[in-house]
Every structure is written in C-alpha cells, then in structure tokens.
Amino acid sequence: MEISTFVYFLTASILLTLAPGPDNLYLLTKSLSDGAKSGVILAAGLVSGIIFHTFLVMVGVAAFIQNSPVAFTVLKIFGAAYLIFLSFKSFQSARAGKKISMQKSDAIISFAALYRRGVLMNVLNPKVLLFFLAFLPQFVNFSESPSLQIILLGVTFAVQGFFIMAAIAICAGKVRTLILRKKNLGQLFSYVEALVLAVIALTLLIL
C-alpha cells in the first residue's frame, strides 16, 4: 500500500468519525450522564466492534450477509432489540430517580458491562458491517496481500476512532462537572439516554 493511499484513508476515517452520528450521540449522552471514564470505556467497546467487522470483511462473512436478506434482517432485528432493551433499562433508571455524583465508587454500571455494551452495539449493527465492506476495499491494492491491508486499515480506523471518541468523552466529562450541582440532572440524562437508544433502534429498523 502506498503512503499516499494510507494518508487518504486516515483523513477520510477522521472525517467520518467526527461526523455526527448515533455512536457519537450516545457516547456524548453517556459521558454527560456517567462521566468521562464511562465514555472512554464505551468508546473502547465501540471500536472493538470495528475490529470484529474488519475480520468479517476479511474472511468474506460481510459479503455473505450483504447478499443474504434473511441474515441481514435477523442481525438488524437482534441489534434493534438490544438497543430497545438498553433504552428500557435507562428509562427504568430514570424512573427510579438516578442521582449524579462525583464519587468514583458511584458507578452506574460496571466498566466491564459498559465495554460489552459498546461492543454489542457495534457488532449487532449490520449497517456498520456493510459500511466497512464498501469502505475498506476502496483503499486496498489486491495484488499485494489484501487481507493484511484490510487488517491494517481496520485497526487504523479503530485506533483513530478511539482517540477521537475518547476526546469527546473527556470534553463531555468536563462539561458534566460544570453542571453537576443541578437537581435531578442524573434523572434527566437517563431519560435522554433512553430516548437516544430508542431513536437509534428505530433508525436501524427503518433505514
């Protein structure tokens, strides 16, 4: 792969990551609700899903799903159902009167569970898979170890994505500290989180 091709890919990846989308919206909401550390953990889970999708593109599973309406629909339904489940849990948390706190021990969910959430949100979204199936091969020279190039591109996308998402989480965490004293803020953020997840699930089903 030529250096110029890699630079074009990296530039396109950064612009795509910065573009407003459901992942960034949910990341921002979660970071405002639970703090920067939770946002960074969520970002790590989301980009881990990118590595998984890259592997599926490399071995040909992504192409199979693209050409199988049944497989695509099943994956889409599972993804939407998982998001609706998360939305319901956030709504329950809001109804219970979630409080927001600066205490480090006052974690809303464990970091392991939050990391898993990020992974599953990405892995169960067939549209992300189809995006990488269309995006990555555009920068691959198929006469020179295409599988290795796909891995390199996927890892590169994941790494730059993590740094950008982590920066979003940290900035949101700083904003959170400025408005921490507002009453019922944690409860409000839980309602917002539930709404964001429900909207993402709806768009996954209808688009």
pLDDT in tens, 142-184: 777 888 888 999 999 999 999 999 998 998 888 777 666 655 5
Q: What is residue 103's predicted lDDT score, i.e. its pLDDT?
A: 45
Please give the residue that has the higher pLDDT: either 205 or 123: 123
Helix (H) or strand (E) holding 75: helix 69-95
- At residue 98, does pLDDT exceed 60? no
Q: Are 164 and 51 in contact (CB under 8 A)?
A: no
Stretch 9-34: mean pLDDT, rounded? 85
pLDDT in tens, 36-64: 888 899 999 999 999 988 988 888 776 77
Q: What is residue 102's predicted lDDT score, i.e. its pLDDT?
A: 40
Stretch 68-86: mean pLDDT, rounded? 74
Q: Are 27 and 42 in contact (CB under 8 A)?
A: yes
- At residue 104, does pLDDT exceed 70? no
* pTM to 2 decimal places: 0.75
Q: Using alpha carbons, select from 138, 121, 171 the residue that is nearest to residue 21.
A: 121
CA distances from residue 35 to 92, 162, 182, 190, 191 in whole angstroms, order as listed: 20, 17, 15, 13, 16
Q: What is residue 93's predicted lDDT score, i.e. its pLDDT?
A: 61
